[in-house]
A and B are shown apart, each in its own frame.
Chain A
């Protein structure tokens, strides 16, 4: 897979809040009955994290699960593990109506770290980012500026953003501009 390149090839930006493109990540869009035990167990088995509740994501390193909609979960695995994961999903859900599709290359992953990263997102997304409403493990599908994006908190000073590959540089520049604007000082402890 030496030919495979992520959208921004690991681009980074410095500052009080740093942004870096995290390279290729395996992502599978899995649509089906999220209440199904087989579906949940194949997902947790592939990723090693608990199955997320509505509006949540769970991730460790490049593996994780994100609740996308009442009938869709995003399965994250290392990029080269996708074919194997798809095979396992197909096997586990044989005979069940579902659709598992490799969407790894349709996406870009940006990781933002720094004390006021919460406020950087609040400058761009119409989402309640107050710590009471959005903390580690919470996941939102929304927009950043003029593009669709999803994001979740890994911890209090780290937010992971997923957007479409074609607009990765817009997303990166937008986040960098918002970070460059400095903190707002609105949220407690930020």
Chain B
């Protein structure tokens, strides 16, 4: 059984108990435990069920590579799925439940799948669930959804906060083992602004466990001394619990700092996402031990050899009383020695190599441990945990020579450098046949905009598996990085490490090498996704020869662990099956993040009220206090209608329209874009930007203008006013202000850079109010201060003056068809001006109206709306706006595009009005039905509805639409689609439904 030993652990404080719950059981750990070590100390070896076969799963590793130990953490608003037990630090009151089991972890119905495994081979889902098609949705998917999957999605909103942090650094070192510390030390001593990130809570990595000596002292002491030295350097930042998650272009790195995972009641953000812009990056990310592939290697109690000694040394926890070590290298002997020295039994070391006579094997023998060379594990015995192993010859096919009873198997198939961060941005790898591993090729590093390398791999992550060379490599990497970042100062003497000499490892990809199908089909490669040796071999047989294809076909290396311990073994099996060399098969692509990071850390502060900025006009508070029913327009919120009493939105809209037509309406038009365009070449410039002529507009007058993209499609519209000889004010749509400003700057900066034109966006400088209706003039006259008569201020003119004491610019323009003024005042006085209008307008029946009333009134007048009548495929000609396309101008944006044959095609759909025969409202977006079907068997169409409303003025439905040759078909009745009902008949009419001659607005 697994238990807490009497000895101390490096990370724990045995005097401080911590209580926690797992699957409803109250358990006790100690301060410094991870959830994994605490569970193991309670003999809770079983932590979950596997993805496909629901096999019992135990902890296999001690760090970020753990594939099995995933749990649901917390509950309610702090619920988090897929928490890795090996990297979850224990805290008082922690609650965890295991995943992917039903009804319970101990008894799982889905485990029947393991007996059906011969019917669930690689690619099973692709093969099985193809036919019949309807079965997928109604039968297969619901069942598979229930039986597959890891953590559950949270049901409640996350209660925590998250933040980002942006920094620049000369040198960013990822990994706080001895190589990373040495790199940071060299960079820091060179004077570089340095950041060192370590994903765990502890510095030093494996060296203190594995027993290296540095500068004559134990690794642990050197680590402490170095961390202290680095802490004193003001230009060096050290961060534990901060994982280098991804390396991106231009030296951008994401660091994922877990601030509160280990103390959830603390103040502040739970996670902090460091957004680092580094000149140079050192990846000192260490290495991950590989499992060995033998039958039933997935039983709880079969663990990585390094993990077995980590739990003893760091947490004072043993995984079993009798541990069989199985290996192809010397390093695993450290585990046997550590266990033996801790007073635990090691019945045998099974070494696949024919000879093992290095220093470590001899040390093990001296301790009385039996070493069996040339041997392998044929099969592990046990159910929910290991009970023994059968030993066979590695060279054979699995004939059992001996059975050894044990409750733990510690395996080591060698080490794979963590090359993920090196590879994220394109760093290339070489296959090191001697050490059987991929290692970075420093000559093919990720390169920046200058073509120079910006990532340096260091230490074990660079393929230097031993402390002496790894430490030296780390220091020189730190120095090289500092130098490349412009810090030439000599960092002084590099630290020196000594370690025990190790004999060469021997690649072992299958144990025994001639294992039968029965053994291979129980030899796990990927523990999380239930991929076995036989599955990868089947994939290769079926033609999935590319490693990327084989991955997707078998699911090898997918899901939360992304195959950290399984990928190399899997591709070695694939290579063997294909008869190819391992480097020829290659690896799958390493993509960020290194281990999953919380979605919320990516969102950072963008949650709740800060989810998205909402732009507000100076009058917004009034709107909110007066029944505004909002709609989003760009990033603004605009009142759609103002609700009074218990009226519906529809009733409010109708009331607002009628009142504006009969009395006085008030519209907050502040959101409309306002761009000042000025300079000696401004007229010439605007003639290019707009389809119509703006340079000839007299000072004091206004003109409606259209803008097209260079491809001729309508992009924006608005009223342009000429302010002075060399200055124009261009109104844009609400959503178009920033876009059109950028569009103008684009042309001025990139194409016509020598034209003397400046553009300034004054959208927010001005609060703008439309005063609309037959009483509009009377209201302004009551305010007084300037002459707004028909003579002094005719339609489509503007004037500066004062109104009721407010400095104002008054435009005589109308989007409603009524007598209308749009009045701009400084934004700081917008609210006061609005209040003044409401007060003075009481006698004239004033009522504010929202965007829906605005839309209805413009539709009654047949005015188009960008975004309704246009959708990026519509040209002015489609909307009968030929009059606004200047024939006098040599050029304007869109002119040449309009000459293209498709644009000039007389068969384009064109704007018309539509009136249903029964007065009902056409559905928005409905299509006009034409005879016959198209090549895809779909009904033909001959037009579509672009705007449709109930007109309270005309008391019937009105609509605009684009119809094939529409203007030539006045009076014709056509049918429109009506989802769930009979087609609706509508007559093609003039789009101007109200006051065709414009008498109302021109009074």
Contacts and interface: CB of A to CB of B under 8 A. Distances in A.
A166 B164 contact: no
B613 A4 contact: no
Given A126-B166, A166-B636, 14 more contacts: A4-B829, A5-B829, A71-B758, A99-B679, A102-B765, A103-B762, A105-B828, A123-B164, A126-B275, A130-B167, A146-B612, A166-B617, A184-B272, A186-B165
Given A105-B827, A126-B275, A181 B166 contact: no
Interface string A119-153: 10011111111101100000000000111000000
A166 B764 contact: yes
A161 to B, nearest CB: 14
Contacts of B806: 3
B735 interface: no
A4 B828 contact: yes
Interface string B746-764: 0000000000101011111
B234 interface: yes
B765 A170 contact: no
Interface in A4-29: 4-6, 24, 29
A3 B833 contact: yes
A29 to B, nearest CB: 5
A121 to B, nearest CB: 9
B166 A4 contact: no
A45 interface: no
Contacts of A97: 679-680, 756, 758
Interface string A97-123: 111011111110000000000010011
B932 to A, nearest CB: 49
Contacts of B168: 128, 130, 133
A132 B828 contact: no
18 contacts: A1-B829, A3-B828, A97-B680, A103-B765, A106-B761, A106-B827, A107-B764, A119-B165, A124-B164, A124-B166, A125-B166, A127-B166, A128-B168, A130-B168, A146-B613, A167-B613, A173-B610, A184-B165
A103 B761 CA distance: 9
Contacts of A102: 765, 826
Contacts of B165: 119, 122-123, 184, 186
A173 B609 contact: yes
By size class, the interface of chain B is 35 or more
B163 A178 contact: yes
B760 A101 contact: yes
Contacts, number: 138
A50 interface: no
B599 to A, nearest CB: 17
Contact of B616 (A29, A101, A119, A166): A166
A101 B762 contact: yes
Contact of B832 (A5, A32, A71): A5
Contacts of A107: 764
Contacts of A3: 805-806, 828-829, 832-833
Contacts of B604: 145
A182 to B, nearest CB: 5
A31 interface: yes
B267 interface: yes
Contacts of B612: 146
Closest 5 CB pairs of A and B: A3-B832, A105-B827, A166-B615, A99-B758, A106-B764
Contacts of A92: none
Nearest to A146: B613
A105 B765 contact: yes
B644 to A, nearest CB: 27
Contacts of B595: none
A177 interface: yes
Nearest to A147: B613
B112 interface: no
A2 to B, nearest CB: 8
Contacts of B272: 184
Contacts of B617: 166
A188 B676 contact: no
Given A124-B164, A164-B764, A145 B828 contact: no
Interface in B800-846: 805-806, 826-829, 831-833
B268 A181 contact: yes
B768 to A, nearest CB: 12
A165 interface: yes
B275 A145 contact: no
Contacts of B832: 3-5
A164 B827 CA distance: 11
Max count, chain B CB within 10 A of own CB: residue among A107, A129, A177: A177
A146 B609 CA distance: 13
Interface string B43-81: 000000000000000000000000000000000000000
Contacts of B164: 123-124
Nearest to A6: B828
A170 B828 CA distance: 18
Contacts of B765: 101-106
A145 B610 contact: yes
A177 B763 contact: no
A152 to B, nearest CB: 17
A164 B670 CA distance: 14
A101 B676 contact: yes
B166 A123 contact: yes
A103 to B, nearest CB: 5
Interface in B652-704: 676, 678-680
Contacts of A169: 616
Given A99-B679, A106-B764, A146-B612, A123 B756 contact: no
Interface string A160-190: 0000111101100110011001101010110
B276 to A, nearest CB: 10
B764 A145 contact: no
Contacts of A124: 164, 166, 605
A177 B762 contact: no
Interface string B763-785: 11110000000000000000000
B992 interface: no
B756 A165 contact: no
Nearest to A98: B758
Contacts of B827: 105-106, 165
B826 A105 contact: yes
B111 interface: no
Interface in B265-293: 267-269, 272, 275, 277
Contacts of B277: 126, 128
Nearest to B236: A188
A174 to B, nearest CB: 6
Contacts of B167: 122, 128-130, 186
Contacts of A126: 166, 275, 277
A43 B606 CA distance: 39
Contacts of A181: 161, 163, 268-269
A69 B275 CA distance: 26
